[in-house]
């Protein structure tokens, strides 16, 4: 489950980054075309702005999700290690008490 969420978050972040890059590329091309025609470039078209904002939102959500999932995975690993150490200690204690009944 954790791996699937990680892949989904990475895809969302990547799609957001790609959307921002494409929107900025389109905006730059529009700006260059306006300059070549001798027109004073104005504001970016609304579609380009919206695509950039949506891309940034996807990138932010994907990145934050990846950070949270990484922290969750680290905490989970630490808890598993602690449980393994406790289990080994219990096994060791039981082995000692079964071989040495006087203790």
Domain locations in the chain as residue ranges: 2-99
Q: What is the pLDDT of residue 92?
A: 85
Q: What is the pLDDT of residue 95?
A: 79
Contact assessment for residue 10 and residue 66, using Cβ atoms and an 8 Å cutoff = yes
Q: What is the pLDDT along the chain (103 residues), one digit of tens a residue?
A: 888 999 999 999 999 999 999 999 999 998 999 889 988 888 888 999 999 999 999 999 999 999 999 999 999 999 999 999 898 888 888 877 777 665 5
Tokens, residue 7 = 């892949």
Tokens, residue 63 = 């990145």
Whole-number Å distance between alpha carbons of 4 and 60: 19
Whole-structure pTM value: 0.74
């Amino acid at each position: 489950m954790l791996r699937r969420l990680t892949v989904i978050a990475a895809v969302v972040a990547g799609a957001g980054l790609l959307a921002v890059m494409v929107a900025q590329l389109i905006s730059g091309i529009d700006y260059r075309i306006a300059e070549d025609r001798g027109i004073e470039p104005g504001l970016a078209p609304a579609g380009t702005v919206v695509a950039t904002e949506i891309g940034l939102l996807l990138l932010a959500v994907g990145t934050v999700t990846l950070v949270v999932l990484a922290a969750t995975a680290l905490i989970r690993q630490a808890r598993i290690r602690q449980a393994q150490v406790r289990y080994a200690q219990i096994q060791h204690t039981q082995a000692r008490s079964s071989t040495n009944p006087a203790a």
